[in-house]
Amino acid sequence: MKRFLYQLLIIATLFAGNAVAQTSTWVITNGCWLKVDGSTNINIFSCAIANYSKPDTIVINRNFTPVQLSGSMQLDVQNFDCHNPVMTADLRKTLKSKQFPRLIIRFQTLNNYPDHAHRQGIIKGYVTIELAGVSKRYEVDYKVVAAEATYINLEGSRKVNFSDFNLEPPRKLGGMIRTNNELSVVFNLRIKVI
């Protein structure tokens, strides 16, 4: 019995060691950005939060399939820039930036760990996007822009709707000028692997 317990302890230790080895940390570095493209019945618009520079971390657990992620990116809605002051102000108002100043992307899973093998393909993963006080889970397509041993550049994209977050697409002049419900969200992550 004693010998059996001893063997069990050794096996458990080996497995635990393996699990530790499969966990790593990503640091979100300077130069990340998020872009939102949308349209109205009279024009198209593209608004971005450029140069996201908060050094958030994401913990990666590769023991599971899909790969488990734990961490988030918190963006200031006030930093959206639509390259047109009135449109910028209008988007911030639509997103209720005063009431809900943060857009949070919580990273949850990745189908595969991004490395050289996936450079040409798409990796799918799940995130939760919190906007205007509403959280919604989405499957995101990631493109591996660059992947090295200590550095990864990922570009995630997803279509979302204003209505997903209980937001009304803006409408002006009695509805004669209407913003379409659908938005295309693209975010770029520059990651340092620790």
By CB under 8 A, name the binding residues for another protein: 40-43, 45, 84, 86-87, 89-90, 92-94, 168, 170-177, 179
Cβ contact 150:156 at 8 Å: no
Q: How far is the CB of 168 from another protein (least distance, A)?
A: 6
**C-beta closer to another protein: residue 5 or 176:** 176
CB-count burial class (<10 Å; 0-12, 13-18, 19+) for 107: buried
Structure tokens at 29: 């570095």
Q: How far is the CB of 40 from another protein (least distance, A)?
A: 7
Cβ contact 158:138 at 8 Å: yes
**C-beta closer to another protein: residue 79 or 108:** 79
**C-beta closer to another protein: residue 116 or 172:** 172
Write the CB contacts of 151 (distance below 8 Å, at least 6 apart in sequence): 190, 191, 192, 193
Q: The dihedral of CA 174, 179, 180, 181: what is its sign? A: negative
**C-beta closer to another protein: residue 41 or 65:** 41
Q: How far is the CB of 52 from another protein (least distance, A)?
A: 24
Q: How far is the CB of 163 from another protein (least distance, A)?
A: 14
Q: Measuring CA to CA, which residue among 141, 148, 144 is closest to residue 127?
A: 141
**C-beta closer to another protein: residue 45 or 142:** 45
Q: How far is the CB of 165 from another protein (least distance, A)?
A: 15
